[in-house]
Amino acid sequence: MTDRVDGSFSPYQMFVAAVLAFLQFTIILDFMILSPLGAQLMPALQISPVQFGLLVSTYAFSAGVSGFLAAGFADRFDRKKLLLVFYAGFLSGTLLCGLSYSYHALLLGRLITGVFAGVVASVSFAIVTDVFPLELRGRVMGIIQTAFAASSVLGIPIALLLATRWRWNAPFLLIVTVGAMVGWLIHARLHPVDDHLKLHPDRSPLHHLIQTVSNRFYLQGFATTALLSVGGFMLMPFMSAFMVHNVGVPVGRLPLVYVLTGLFSVVAGPLIGRASDRFGKFNVFAFGCAITIIMVVIFTHLAITPLWLLVGVIVILQIGIFSRMISASALMSALPEPADRGAYMSISSSLQQVAGGIAAVLSGMIVFEGSDGVLLHFDRVGYVLVGTTLLTLSMMYLINRKIGGVKPEKEPSRMTIAVEDAG
C-alpha cells in the first residue's frame, strides 16, 4: 500500500476508513438501541427496572473487562484476523439477543456482545494507526466518529420503526444482517495488518500487559483518555430530561432535536478531522476545549428556550466536543510503539467504558429531581465538566510536546521520547 503524496486518501485507504466507520456504526447502534427499546422490552419479557438497568450496565462492564484482558494478546496476531474473530463473536451475541424470549437469555446475549464489542473497537483503532500516517489520522478519525451521529440520525429511528412494526427484537436481527455484510467486506478486501508482528519481541501476554500498563509515557495517555471520558459522559445521561423539564422542549419534539443536531454532526465530523490534520491536532483540541467550556456553561444554565435557539446551542457545543474527541484520538494514536498498539488501544478502550460508568454515577450523585420534574444542580455538572476540560487541556499539552510539537507531519522516534523521559 502506498500513501498519496498529496496528502489525500488512496482508494484502499478510503475503503478502510469507510468499512471501519460502518463497523463502528453497528457496534454503537447495538449499544444504544437497548434504552429506547425499554418501553416495549420491559412488558414483553416482564422485566423490572432493576433488571433492565442490569441489562444496560452488563454490556458496558463486560466490554471494559474484556478489552483489558485481551490487551496482552492484542499484538500477537494479524489485526485483520483478530478483528474478524471478535466481530463474529459480537454478531453471535447480537443474534442471541434477537432470538431471546426470556430475561436470562437476553442478559447472556448482552454479556457475550459486550465481551466481543470491547475488543472490536480497540482493534479497529489499532488498524487505523497501522494503515494511516499521522498526518491523515485526524481525517479518518473524523469519518469514523460520524458513526456516533449516524446511529442517532439513521440507526435508532429505523430500529424503532422495525420494533414498532414487528417486535422489540427486530432491530437486533437487522444489526446482524448489516454486520454480516460488513464482515464479508473486511474478509474479502482488507489486507493483512501484521507488520507489527515483525517488531514484536518474544514476550508472554502477561509480560506484555504489565509492560504496557507500567510505561510512564503510556500512563499519561491512559489518564487523559479516562478524564476525557469522565467529562463527556457526565453531561449525557440527563440531557434529554433537562431539555424537557428545564428548557421546555415537548417530549414529541425531542427526536427532532436529536435528528437536527445529529445531521450536523455527520457533516461536521470529517471537516473537523481535516482541520486537525491541516492546523495541528493540539490546536484543534485547544479550540474545542474553549468552545466546550463556553457552551457547557450556557447550556447548563438554560431556562425556557425556543427550539431554534436550543438547537443552535447544542450544535455549537457539539463542535467543541467533536473537536476534542477527533483531535485527541488522532494525536494520542502516536503514543504507542507499533508493537504495543493493540495492547494500548485495548486498555484505552476499557478505560473509556469504565470512566463512562463512573461519570454516570457521579452525575447521578450531583443532580436531583424536583417535585415538578425540574432538574436541580445540573449547572454543577457543567462546572465539573469545565474543570475536567481545563485539566485535560494541560495534560494534552504535555503529551503533544513529547510527541513532537504541533506539527503532525512525522511521528517521533520512541528513542527520543525515552531519552526525554529519562531526563
Query: Residue 409 pLDDT more than 50?
Result: no
Percent of the chain with pLDDT strictly greater than 90? 10
Cβ neighbours for 161, distance < 8 A, ≥ 6 positions apart? none
266's grid cell = 455527520
Q: What is the pLDDT of residue 72?
A: 61
**180 assigned to some structural domain:** yes
Count the neighbouring beta carbons within 10 Å of the beta carbon of residue 398: 11
When divided into structural domains, the chain yields a total of 1
- φ/ψ of residue 48, rounded to 5: -80, 165
**375 assigned to some structural domain:** yes
Give mean pLDDT, residues 201-205: 59
274 or 94, greater pLDDT: 94
- Burial level of 259, CB count in 10 A (0-12/13-18/19+)? middle
- φ/ψ of residue 375, rounded to 5: -80, 130
Query: Which residue segment(s) compose the domain that 215 sits in?
Result: 13-194+203-422
Query: Residue 311 pLDDT more than 60?
Result: yes
> Rounded to an integer, what distance in angstroms lies between the CA atom of residue 326 and that of residue 336?
17
Q: What is the pLDDT of residue 101?
A: 83
**5 assigned to some structural domain:** no
Q: What share of the chain is helix, strand, coil (3-state, %, to 5)?
A: 80, 0, 20
Q: What is the pLDDT of residue 423?
A: 38
Instruction: Report the C-alpha dihedral over residues 176, 325, 66, 200, rounded to 10 degrees.
Output: 110
pLDDT category at 4 given cuts 50, 70, 90 is very low
Q: What is the pLDDT of residue 296?
A: 92
Give mean pLDDT, residues 154-174: 74
Do residues 113 and 176 touch, judged by C-beta distance below 8 A?
no
> Rounded to an integer, what distance in angstroms lies between the CA atom of residue 190 and that of residue 384?
42
**7 assigned to some structural domain:** no
Do residues 209 and 343 touch, judged by C-beta distance below 8 A?
yes
Residue 139 Cα to chain centre, angstroms: 16
Query: Residue 285 pLDDT more than 90?
Result: yes
Give mean pLDDT, residues 96-113: 87
From 71-75, 166-170, 221-225, 315-319, the region with the lowest mean pLDDT: 71-75
Count the neighbouring beta carbons within 10 Å of the beta carbon of residue 293: 18
pLDDT category at 362 given cuts 50, 70, 90 is confident
Q: What is the pLDDT of residue 249?
A: 82
75's grid cell = 499484538
Q: What is the pLDDT of residue 226?
A: 82
Q: Could you please report the per-residue DSSP string of 173-193?
A: HHHHHHHHHHHHHHHHHPPP-
Q: Compute the mean pLDDT over every residue in the chain, rounded to the nearest whole number.
A: 77
**88 assigned to some structural domain:** yes
Q: What is the pLDDT of residue 205?
A: 64
pLDDT category at 93 given cuts 50, 70, 90 is very high
> Rounded to an integer, what distance in angstroms lies between the CA atom of residue 103 and that of residue 46?
8
Give mean pLDDT, residues 135-163: 72
Q: Which residues pair with 369 in a beta bridge?
A: 375
**8 assigned to some structural domain:** no
Q: Can you give the CATH number for the domain in which 20 is found? A: 1.20.1250.20
**106 assigned to some structural domain:** yes
153 or 264, greater pLDDT: 264
Give mean pLDDT, residues 273-293: 89
- CA-angle at 195, arms to 21 and 325, nearest 5°: 35
What radius of gyration do the chain's Cα atoms show? 21
**272 assigned to some structural domain:** yes
